[in-house]
Amino acid sequence: MCCPPSIFKETGLKAEKDLNKISRRPGGRFNVIQCSPVHPREDSPTGVSEHQTQNRREVAAQYILPCDPNVVLTLRQRKDSGIDLSDFINSQKHDIDSTGLVCMWPAEEIMTYYCISRPELFRNKRVIELGSGYGLAGLAIAACTEASEVLLTDGNPQVVEYIRKNMTESSGLFGDTKVRACIVHWSRHQAAMPGLNFDIVIAADW
């Protein structure tokens, strides 16, 4: 997703230098994980109702995880057209980008499929995900692999808020796995976080 010309004018961005700070979306998905929208209804078995959706920029989506047996993960996320000027202003304010809000990135889908296809790698392990976005991979690991702990992180406070909503939405799927989310800004958290040690670090880019 690129800023429309009016945003360049209003925010005073300078061509090449600042263009790199803008999140852009490649087309398509790999469709290795089935995904469908959840239509809001008060009696929906997923518990997602119209009054729970904070604004019209959001949508709830169901991801069918090919575990044994299959697990249905419901995530709240932005619609494709759900990024606006306020998000870019927030990005500049906190010196972050809006990548995690743009979409569910294809690389996240592939990483999710890889991880849940190999549950033995994560069983009884402590896992941290960097740049979690809406949390598909981290929450899928928590739901399908019997990891002991999964920490989902992102540098964007808005994105972390979505992760926490999605954790609550699917909390019944995690069994004994401890699941948490927090803000980690790579340029500000270069030193190891005291007391936090992990067996596995995962991350996906595009």
Q: What is the mean pLDDT of residues 72-91?
A: 77
Q: What is the mean pLDDT of residues 120-127?
A: 98
Instruction: Share the mean pLDDT of the chain.
Output: 78
Looking at 1-15, 93-107, 114-128, 134-148, which range is the least confident one?
1-15
- Res. 104 pLDDT band, cuts 50 70 90: confident
Q: What is the mean pLDDT of residues 104-128?
A: 94
Q: What's the confidence (pLDDT) of residue 13?
A: 44
| Token output for 4 | 């429309």
Q: What's the confidence (pLDDT) of residue 12?
A: 44
Q: Which fold has domain 29-203?
A: Rossmann fold (3.40.50)
DSSP the chain: ----HHHHHHHT--HHHHHTTS----S----SSEEEEEPP-TT-TT---GGGS-STTEEEEEEEE-SSS-EEEEEEEE-TT---HHHHHHHHHHT---HHHH---HHHHHHHHHHHT-GGGTTT-EEEEES-TT-HHHHHHHHHS--SEEEEEES-HHHHHHHHHHHHHTGGG-TT-EEEEEE--TTT--SPPTT---SEEEE---
Condensed to tens digits (0 to 9), the pLDDT of residues 124-170 reads 999 999 999 899 999 999 999 999 999 999 988 888 999 999 999 99
Q: What's the confidence (pLDDT) of residue 99?
A: 67
- Res. 57 pLDDT band, cuts 50 70 90: confident
